[in-house]
Amino acid sequence: MKRFEIIIIGSGPGGMAAAYDLKEAGKSVAVVEADLWGGTCPNRGCDPKKILYGAVEARDILLQLEKKGFNTVPKINWSDLMTFKETFTQKVPVEQKEGLTSMGIQTITGNAIFKDSHTITVGNHEYQADKFILATGQRSAIVDIPGKEHFGTSTDFLSMKKLPKKIAFVGGGYISLELANIANSCGSEVHLIHHNERPLKEFDEELTKELLDHLKSRGVHMHFNESAELLTKPSDQINITLTSQSILSVDRVFCATGRIPNVEGMNLEKIGVGYTPKGISVNEYLQTTIENIYALGDCLQKKQPKLTPVSSFEGRYLAQLLTGRSQEKIKYPVLPTILFNSPKLAQVGLTNKETLENEKYKVQAFDLSQWFTYKHFNEPLAKAKIVTEKATGQLVGATVLGNEADQLINLFTLMINQKLSSEKINKMIMLYPTVGSDLSYLY
């Protein structure tokens, strides 16, 4: 039986971050993976999605400049785009596993099942460790309705060799809106089905409505206050029976109504690790209900966004904690989030309705479409909301809708976390014309 100081179950970005840092600190480390090495993000999540979105983003700019330097706007060739995507994703599992091996980290392929709090079995082998880190991630949830076997997931969408002519997405969150935008931009007729009239409820309501109206103008069909009640496939197409009893016929239907933490099948309940349907319970040290077992990433029950950089942050934190270089509770910085769409919608800090209505804060709304940074690309939609604390003038939150929203929100994130005052920003000289050079006019 092999014994290690630390065994990590899951090879996603969080598990990888912990593994490398622990090994560099001199610990004996093993990583167990039951699926693709590298986890969801680089294999079937944010990375391949961003590759597809890159083509959409390039086409969006050409659309904005049509008759302003470009006479025609090319169509996106789905087959070529998917071939390009595969040049990235096909290499990931091998490269991720080889990276661990080259560092002297033991790689173990298979499902980890706890025998006791210090022992797991993987296949016919047993492994022991002083400590474990659970980094098992999450998977797509499927709505439990008759005909649910006809649902595809985001994984299925990102691996399609041929783009269907007519697609429906069920759900009103990040994944559904992002994939719907990609499909629409690549030439499909797209329908989005959501059970109420408020998709993306985490984002500013006004700017979200602006984005949804823009997507409608691009041809995305919104079916709000509707749910998919039944799926049938009498022929080549799938019939979706909606709450209103109307029937929508499509070539493919994808379910994007949330994700489920991967906690089953490891005997966690047998050894006393607490978890709920929302994930594994941890304290402020990312420690589970069993003293020597920790957890990180998307398999956690937590209020922080379940995003790749958050998992990596947690992995680095645990490496510090488990090597004695830190004894502090985990402290998250202010975290930005983004919807990669046409245009992008991003936010950071205090942006909810209660904050915006609180007298402690000053909210400024900006239409950026006539600012040169945006106008030179003829952007039709570019807006921002900036939230500052009245007593101090300190920036505490921002939401941006526009092609450069990611760049601007990254700058705002830095400013909030570093508590940079407007006076300090005004003393800086940024490249012009860029989003950075606009900061002094926004804050």
Tell me: do 148 and 73 sit in the same domain.
Answer: no
Rounded to 5°, the CA angle 423-426-427 comes to 90
Is position 330 within any domain? no
**In this structure, which amino acid lies at residue 389?**
E
- Confidence at residue 353, expressed as pLDDT on a 0 to 100 scale: 87
Tell me: do 94 and 201 sit in the same domain.
Answer: no
Is position 337 within any domain? no
Contact 14, 315 (CB under 8 A): yes
> Could you tell me which residues come within 8 angstroms of residue 200 by beta carbon, excluding any fewer than 6 positions away?
172, 173, 174, 177, 208, 211, 339, 345
Tell me: do 163 and 133 sit in the same domain.
Answer: no
Tell me: do 105 and 172 sit in the same domain.
Answer: no
Summarize the annotated binding site for NAD(+) as residue ranges.
171-178, 258
Tell me: do 199 and 251 sit in the same domain.
Answer: yes
Residues of the chain with pLDDT under 50: none
- CATH number assigned to the domain comprising residue 350: 3.30.390.30
Tell me: do 364 and 306 sit in the same domain.
Answer: no
Domain final residue, candidates 257, 278, 294: 257
> Could you tell me which residues come within 8 angstroms of residue 369 by beta carbon, excluding any fewer than 6 positions away?
375, 379, 380, 381, 382, 383
Summarize the annotated binding site for FAD as residue ranges.
50, 298
**Structural domain range at position 21:** 2-137+262-323
Summarize the annotated binding site as residue ranges.
50, 171-178, 258, 298
Is position 301 within any domain? yes
Helix (H) or strand (E) run with residue 7 in it: strand 2-9
Tell me: do 296 and 363 sit in the same domain.
Answer: no
Is position 335 within any domain? no
Q: How far apart are CA 117 and CA 403, in angstroms?
A: 49
Whole-model pTM: value is: 0.95
Tell me: do 230 and 172 sit in the same domain.
Answer: yes
